[in-house]
Amino acid sequence: MLNLLPWRQEQIRKIKRDFLLLLGLMTLLITVSSFAIRKEVLHQNLKILLQEKILAQEINKECVKKIELLKKNNSEQKVSGFLSEMQRQRKYLNILESVPNLLPPNGYLNFMALAKDELKMEGVLLSASDIPLKQFVSKLTKLHRLKLREQKIQLEQLSEQKFQLSFTL
């Protein structure tokens, strides 16, 4: 449609130009702020990784000091006991790290503990089928070479099951 009034056409062009200018400015602002946010997040992640590395080094130093102290006291049994406890705790940490990835999306842990050579878990599965829980147990036992000691599944509601699992390390 042709507008016969030139001042209206000029006004429409000015509004379009202002709109496009604002749109370009906002796009630039969003791009710059997203890069700044990404840089800050990467900086924070790097900072956390450095703190973890420093903490791991300090833990290793403390372990070496404790082992040397035990060796000075001629306590080979204590040294081997300390090392086996460290391995046990490291295995438990590996299990803790893998559980969120292995647990079904509709499964929730309420309790998890390590007592001597037994790992206990309690939780809820929001499903009428116990197949996801069986898959979780299967993956966990294969990944960490655990032996299932006891498994209790109790149907609470039509689509909710409470479970208790016990593994031998």
For 4-51, what is each residue's pLDDT tens digit? 677 788 888 999 999 999 999 999 999 999 998 988 888 888 888 888
Domain ranges of the chain: 7-74, 102-169
Residues 80-102: tens digit of each pLDDT: 777 777 777 778 888 888 888 88
What would the DSSP string read from start to end of 80-143? HHHHHHHHHHHHHHHHHHHHHHHS-TTEEEEEEEEETTEEEEEEEE-SS-SHHHHHHHHHHHHH
Q: Is 51 exposed, middle or buried (0-12, 13-18, 19+ CB in 10 A)?
A: exposed
Residue 104 burial by CB count (10 A; 0-12/13-18/19+): exposed, middle or buried? middle
> In Å, what is the CA distance from 12 to each residue of 20, 22, 26, 77?
12, 15, 21, 89
Which structure tokens are listed for 124? 């809820």
Q: Is 139 helix (H, G, I), strand (E, B) or coil?
A: helix
* Cα radius of gyration rounded to whole Å, the chain: 30
- How much is the pLDDT for 88? 75
Give the residue carrying structure tokens 């309690």.
122
Q: Can you give the pTM of this predicted structure?
A: 0.52
Residue 1 has pLDDT above 60, yes or no: no
Eight-class DSSP state of 86 = H
Q: Check: CB of residue 159 under 8 Å from CB of residue 126.
A: yes
